[in-house]
Amino acid sequence: MNRKLIALDLALVALLAWAGYGLRQMWLAAKARERAEFQRKIGPVPVAPLTPLAGAQAVVPAKYKNIADKNLLFKDRNSDVQVDPPPPPPPEPPMPALPLFHGQMNIGDGPTAFMSVTATSPYEPIHPGETIGQFKLLSVNEKEIELEWHGKKVKKSVDEMLDNSTAAAPQQQADAGVGRPVNAPPVSDQPKVVEGPKDEGQHFDNFGTASCQPGDTTPDGAVKNGYRKIHRQTPFGNICMWEKVGGQ
């Protein structure tokens, strides 16, 4: 019995010795692998080239139109803004009557036109660039006058803008019967003919000249009572007058 126990003990001792040897060999092998890993040189790993990312698309508001059109809380909502057209420009006011021209002069500093707004208003000297009423004088010469009104240029001849109302007023009053008595005989339609320079109301200056009376229909160059009827162009316009003939 004792021999069997001794043999069993010896067998167990041998088994433990074999197991310890095996564990040591495994430990030594692990240490050897660890030293080998630490001593091994690792080369760089090749990296594939990077491909560029696709560019971001621009935001287009039209893609989000349905979000505004299909709003459940506002079924009648419309994303198309209705822009009211601008109101039409106001109509341009009618052009007023042109100012009247009474004459012009030039004493070296440029032309000066004598003009008035109406036939009853006093005339005033106007230089190019100055205004008369609603008009601006652009240029003036012996034949034409150029004005400007609201950016528009108006060109007229001197004859068209002359003030002829002084000679026409008495005739217009006679035609209309202004101041005619109720029981007075009818006035003839023919204009009154002034008989030369010696009619009543004619006034002569120291030079022996006098202005023609309104209604004087005597032709130019006619001689009556020692005076000749002429027209002269002055800085103040075309003037009709009678002057002595031959120093009478």
Q: What pLDDT, on the 0 to 100 scale, is given for residue 23? A: 93
- Among 106, 95, 107, 240, smallest CA distance to 156 is for 95
pLDDT level of residue 168 (50, 70, 90 thresholds): very low
Where do we find the tokens 């009678």?
242
| Protein fold of 100-161 | SH3 type barrels. (2.30.30)
Which comes out higher in pLDDT, residue 57 or 26? 26
User: Where in the sequence of the chain do the CATH 2.30.30 domains occur?
Assistant: 100-161
Instruction: List C-alpha distances in Å: 37 to 23, 31, 43, 126, 207.
Output: 21, 10, 13, 113, 142
Query: At residue 179, what is the residue type?
Result: G
Question: Is pLDDT above 70 for 11?
Answer: yes
pLDDT digits (tens, 9 = 90+) for 119-144: 888 888 888 999 998 999 999 888 89
Average model confidence (pLDDT) for the chain? 76
Question: Is pLDDT above 50 for 192?
Answer: no
* Residues ≥6 apart with Cβ < 8 Å to 198: 224, 225, 227
pLDDT digits (tens, 9 = 90+) for 34-82: 988 888 888 888 888 888 888 888 888 777 777 766 666 666 666 566 7
Q: What pLDDT, on the 0 to 100 scale, is given for residue 237? A: 62
Return the H-helix or E-strand segment holding 118. Answer: none
Residue 188's Cβ-count burial label (10 Å; 0-12, 13-18, 19+) is exposed
